Chain A
Amino acid sequence: MNSDNAILQVQDLCIDAIDRHGKTISIVSNINFSVVAGQVISLIGESGSGKTTISLATMGYTHPSCKIRKGKVILQGEDLLSLDLSQVQSKRGSDIAYIAQSAAAAFNRALTIGAQVTEITVLKGLMTRQQANKHAVSLYKQLDLPNPETIGELYPHQVSGGQLQRLMAAMAMMCKPKLLIMDEPTTALDVTTQIEVLQAFKRLIREQNVAAIYVSHDLAVVAQMADDILVLNNGKMVELQSTQNILNSPEKEYTRMLMEAVPQLQLSSTSHQSSTTNIDMQDSDHDDPEERCLTNLLTVSNITATYSSNGTVVLKDVSLKVKMGETIGIIGGSGSGKTTLGRVISGLMPPSKGQIELQGRVLKNTYKQRSLDDLRQIQFVFQMAESALNPRHRIRQILGRPLEFYLSMTGKAAEERIIELLDLVELPANFIDRFPRELSGGQLQRINFARALAAEPKLIICDEITSALDTLVSKAIIELLINLQQCLGIAYIFISHDLSRVAKLADSIAVMRYGEIVEFNSTDKILEPPYHEYTELLLNSIPRLRTGWLEE
């Protein structure tokens, strides 16, 4: 940490939030760090730890309801916080650039990519349009984008999510900034795309010699990118160390906790085996393993599904069996059809061929034709709890409705059951009268899951329910799922792109690609060599918790 040639120095930064009644709450306090050119510092912490707030403050910006109480943000010897708005604005986009979490949301769908990538430089008069276009093409090349000469003429929806994220990096690098801020740039991407993007970013930072701030909750990703890691908790610095030191000898308890929460795949090693056998043994305490193996709950046979609008085949001849009380993991990259499979089973999307049987009875194709009891038996848990729960309903109504609807339970009995359900998902009973916006992401996901439990189903389909949550919270949710299965004997179909997480709870795993199941086997077999070629690619794409893995 040499502060003499640092591009950016943050000194004693404190930020307050001001709520509607004018009360101030300190959300970030006493932050000190600096970055030199060509180096990456990573801010890591749970959601709400203030990492995004700090990264925005390094651009001299805060959310309108926040205020920088004190501190300095010194960019190349100049304190950004002492400048007025127009001076700071002249720095943004030329000296400082920002890459947002979701490129899909940050691009304007109505303009071509090229126009948006070059917009700021041309607007600021730093380059003419021709120069800008030429520079953009060279950046596309550096970022390994396909057809660098013509990709700028496409619209955002015509390229993939990973490409869009790299295009956003190109947009950020257009003005040759001194400081690059990346806010969870790969969180929305699946593992195989993630590594491509990470590699492209890393090379770009080295070649352009910029100082970078990388915000993430994923220690394994950060381990690949960062030279230094700043661990944050509740807006305070926990520790600031080089990546090597943090990974090898974390000083603080909290850092160790974060590291333990990173799901680690131990391929056919002893510790994984012992943990699965452990779960199996616990299972057998509750129900007879013989019986469990015999009863088939759900049989999906030869399902083919197409989008009616353009005839694209999204599922090809998919077959799957789920037994009572077991967990099937479905993994695959984005666009592999794993979510569609879940939607077909729940009746949200009718298949064009094939049939689904629940306990020997053939289910109707769409939810509209299915009986109330069939609907009750299969519950679907949506990925984003924030949008899956009606913001205007209290928890009482959210959980009470399936009770009333399926089980005709109202009044006192329903209230007792709601409290029981809250207890099952480890939430306090006084949440019953809260609105969804008063809960955190992890708590919302628990409510979302409790709503499925309320119907007393045989099968719950979980669609990427942990992918929007940070590591510690999703670890807790997975543990909750395992515990509940042991008590209630519900079967899960767990859809995810994260193999390491699925391996933690699934009895069997189906690997999907291009709408087909390429491999379907018990978890142990999947994780044992010889691997299927695509499974191996997925396994190798999971970032490992050590430095230098990305280069390998």
Chain B
Amino acid sequence: MTKMQAKSGPFRDLLQNLTPTAIICLLILIGLILLAILAPWISPHMPTKILTNESYQLSSDTMLLGGDYLGRDMVSRLIYALRITLGVTFIVTVLAFFIGCLMGFLAAVLGGIWDTVLSRVVDALIALPAIMIALIVIGALGSSLPVLIVTLAIIDSTRVFRVARALAMNIVVSDFVEAARVRGEDLKWIMWHEIMPNALGPLAAEFGIRFTYAILFMSALGFLGLGIQPPHADLGLLIRENMQGLLFGSYAPLYPALLISLITISINIFVDWYLQQLDTALPNEF
């Protein structure tokens, strides 16, 4: 996310305006991302290795946050689950943005019948509850990583489509797009060179929000047992696996829940700050 902003202009100015809350959120996010990337080197144990026969062991020197229901190290489980959740949702969101932006921009630039058909198809998809579509597709095709990613990306792309189309609609009517058209420019140039740079700011914010939704959605699927399959786990599955632990006074299911909240809240606060910056960075300052 942060990388996308760099393109949108005075990156340094943006950093100078960081508020304390935004800094905290940014640090949390960077920390979690590093944790996910460096998982194999950081995690104290293999996430699938059973260290003890005792369920829900309390925290000890070998297992900092205690053990899970099978006696595996919770810290290692969490780090790897974070890796899977962030990795998969990132791919899902990027894919969703690619599809959504392409279709949204096409609908706005071509207009007419293209816009009508694309918009109605998206309306139809949005009319169905997202979780239901996911359940049907995964139920029919079985839960594998490619199926999961493509399904989530397509569901998410319908939301991106609406934002991208609305943004592009506003830009398409500008004189500079008309000037490009009368110059004889093709569709590709108009979409990538005239519209994209002007939509990038709001799209970057939307990327953050979509990312949190994808995390929540994937965690929900994991919790229902339809996401990543054991012995691997994402954050949602970790909660499900260890739910029984609450009865024995174990904190095991709370850690993954806490991580999910931490990520989504951090992203939300950071995006809020970023949107404020977009507003103040508008031209015509006086």
User: Which positions in A face B, CB cutoff 8 Å?
Assistant: 17, 19-20, 27, 53, 63, 65-66, 346-348, 367, 370, 372, 375, 380, 382-384, 387-393, 401-402, 405-406, 437, 451, 455
Q: Is the CB of A372 within 8 A of B184?
A: yes
A390, B178: Cα distance in complex, Å:
11
In the assembled complex, which residues on chain A have CB atoms less than 8 Å from the CB atom of B13? 20
B31 contacts chain A at the CB level, 8 A cutoff: no
17 pairs of residues in contact across A and B, judged by CB atoms under 8 Å: A17-B286, A19-B285, A20-B280, A63-B286, A65-B285, A367-B184, A375-B184, A384-B175, A387-B174, A390-B193, A390-B194, A391-B283, A392-B197, A392-B198, A393-B193, A393-B197, A455-B183
Interchain CB contact under 8 A, A405 and B185: yes
* B9 vs chain A, min Cβ distance (A): 8
Interchain CA distance A393-B179 in the complex, whole Å = 14
Contacts beyond the supplied A17-B286, A53-B286, A406-B183: 12 A-B pairs with Cβ under 8 Å? A20-B17, A65-B286, A346-B182, A367-B182, A380-B179, A382-B179, A387-B174, A388-B176, A388-B179, A390-B176, A390-B198, A437-B283
Question: Known interface pairs A391-B198, A391-B283. Does A382 touch B185 (Cβ–Cβ under 8 Å)?
Answer: no
> Number of residue pairs across A and B with beta carbons under 8 Å?
63
Q: Are A380 and B182 in contact, CB atoms less than 8 angstroms apart?
A: yes
Q: Which residues of A contact B175 (CB under 8 A)?
A: 382-384, 387-388
Q: A19-B285, A437-B283 are in contact. Are A348 and B185 (CB under 8 A)?
A: no
A383 to B175 Cα, complex, angstroms: 9
> What does the 1/0 interface line of B236-260 toward A look like (CB < 8 Å)?
0000000000000000000000000
Interface size class of B (residues with CB under 8 A): 20 to 34
CA distance in complex: A67, B282 (Å): 19
Residues from chain B with a CB closer than 8 A to the CB of A65 are 285-286
Question: Within the assembled complex, what's the spacing in Å between the Cα atoms of A65 and B13?
Answer: 17
Contact in complex: A402, B183 (CB < 8 Å): yes
Rounded to whole angstroms, the CA-CA distance of A406 and B283 in the bound complex is 31
Considering only residues 29-61 of chain B, those with a C-beta below 8 Å from chain A are none
Question: Given the complex of chains A and B, what is the CA–CA distance between A442 and B198 in angstroms?
Answer: 23
B181 within 8 A of A: yes
Q: Are A367 and B283 in contact (CB under 8 A)?
A: no
Residues of B within 8 A of A20 (CB): 13, 17, 280, 285
Interface contact B176-A387, CB-CB below 8 Å = yes
A390 surroundings in chain B (CB, below 8 A): 174, 176, 193-194, 197-198
Q: Specify which chain A residues have a CB less than 8 angstroms from the CB of B179 in the assembled complex.
A: 380, 382, 388, 451
Contacts of B9 in A (CB 8 A): 392
Rounded to whole angstroms, the CA-CA distance of A53 and B193 in the bound complex is: 36
Q: Closest approach, in angstroms, between the C-beta of A353 and any C-beta of chain B?
A: 22
Complex formed: what's the CA distance from A380 to B175 in Å?
Answer: 11
Inter-subunit contact A367/B181 (CB<8 Å): yes
Per DSSP, chain B at the interface is: helix
A549 to chain B, nearest CB (A): 34
Tell me if A347 and B286 are in contact (CB < 8 A). Answer: no
Task: Point out the residue from A370, A389, A406, A437 that lies within 8 Å of B176, measured CB to CB.
Answer: A389
Distance A389 CA – B180 CA, assembled complex (angstroms): 10
Knowing A384-B175, A390-B198, A392-B197 touch, does A375 contact B183 (C-beta < 8 A)? yes
Q: Interface on B for A, CB 8 Å cutoff?
A: 9, 13, 17, 174-176, 178-179, 181-185, 193-194, 197-198, 200, 280, 283-286
Looking at A19, A367, A372, which has the most chain B CB atoms within 10 Å of its CB? A367
Q: How far is the CB of A405 from chain B (nearest CB, A)?
A: 6
Distance from B5 Cβ to chain A, minimum over Cβ atoms (Å):
14
Shortest A82–chain B CB gap in Å is: 25
A245 to B262 alpha-carbon distance, docked (Å): 71
Q: Collect the chain A residues with CB atoms within 8 Å of residue B17's CB.
A: 20
Q: Quick one: closest B residue to A62, CB to CB?
A: B286
Cα(A402)–Cα(B183), bound, Å: 8
CB distance from A528 to the nearest CB of B (A): 37
Closest 8 CB pairs of A and B: A392-B197, A388-B175, A437-B283, A390-B176, A387-B175, A382-B175, A375-B184, A367-B182
The residue in chain B whose Cβ has the minimal distance to the Cβ of A370 is B184
Please give me the residue from chain B that is nearest to A347 by CB atom.
B182
What is the CA–CA distance of A53 and B285 in the complex, to the nearest angstrom? 13
Q: Closest CB-CB distance, A16 to chain B, in whole Å?
A: 11
**Bound-complex Cα distance A367 to B190 (A):** 15
Closest chain B residue, CB of each to CB of A52: B286
Chain B residues positioned under 8 Å from A382 (CB to CB): 175, 178-179
Q: Which residues of A contact B176 (CB under 8 A)?
A: 387-390
Instruction: Output the nearest chain B residue to A65 by Cβ-Cβ distance.
Output: B285
**Residues of A contacting B286 with CB < 8 Å?**
17, 27, 53, 63, 65-66
Complex Cα–Cα for A387 and B284 (A): 13
Q: How far is the CB of A358 from chain B (nearest CB, A)?
A: 15
Q: How far is the CA of A383 from the CA of B283 in the complex (A)?
A: 19
| Cα–Cα distance between A384 and B13 once the two chains are bound (Å) | 29
- Report the Cα distance A375→B194, complex, angstroms: 19
> Which B residues are CB-close (under 8 A) to A17?
286
Q: Which residues of chain B are near A348, meaning CB under 8 Å? A: 178, 181-182
**Cβ contacts under 8 Å, A380 to chain B:** 179, 182
For B174, list chain A residues within 8 Å (CB).
387, 390
How distant is the Cα of A367 from the Cα of B182 in the complex, in angstroms? Answer: 6
Contacts of A370 in B (CB 8 A): 184
Bound together, the chains give a CA A456 to CA B118 distance in angstroms of: 40
Residues of B within 8 A of A384 (CB): 175
Q: Which residue of A lies closest to B9 (CB)?
A: A392
Determine the chain B residues whose CB is within 8 A of the CB of A401 once the complex forms. Answer: 183
> Could you tell me the distance in whole angstroms from the C-beta of A195 to the nearest C-beta in chain B?
29
CB-CB under 8 A from A393, the residues of chain B are 193, 197
Q: In the complex, which of the residues A66, A391, A392, A405 contacts B184, with contact meaning CB atoms closer than 8 Å?
A: A405
Most central of A17, A387, A406, A451 by chain B CB within 10 Å? A387
Contacts of A66 in B (CB 8 A): 286
CA–CA, A93 to B178, complex, Å?
Answer: 40
Question: In the bound complex, how far is the Cα of B184 from the Cα of A406, in angstroms?
Answer: 9
Question: CA A362 – CA B184 in complex, angstroms?
Answer: 18
Closest to A452 in B: B179
B197 to chain A, nearest CB (A): 4
C-alpha gap A20/B178 in the complex (Å):
33
A291 CB to nearest B CB, Å: 30
Residues of chain B within 8 A (CB-CB) of A406 are 183
Task: State in angstroms the CA–CA spacing of A392 and B198 once bound together.
Answer: 6
Q: How far is the CB of A337 from chain B (nearest CB, A)?
A: 18
Min CB–CB distance B30 → chain A (angstroms): 25
Q: How far is the CA of A502 from the CA of B134 in the complex (A)?
A: 65
Task: Report the separation of the CA atoms of residues A245 and B286 in the bound assembly, to the nearest whole angstrom.
Answer: 33
Docked CA distance A347–B178 (Å): 11
How near does chain A come to B173, taking the closest CB pair, in angstroms? Answer: 9
Q: How far is the CA of A399 from the CA of B201 in the complex (A)?
A: 24
B284 contacts across to A, CB distance below 8 A = 437
Shortest distance from the beta carbon of A324 to any chain B beta carbon, whole Å: 22
**Shortest CB distance B168–A (Å):** 14
**CB-defined contacts of B198 to chain A, threshold 8 Å:** 390-392
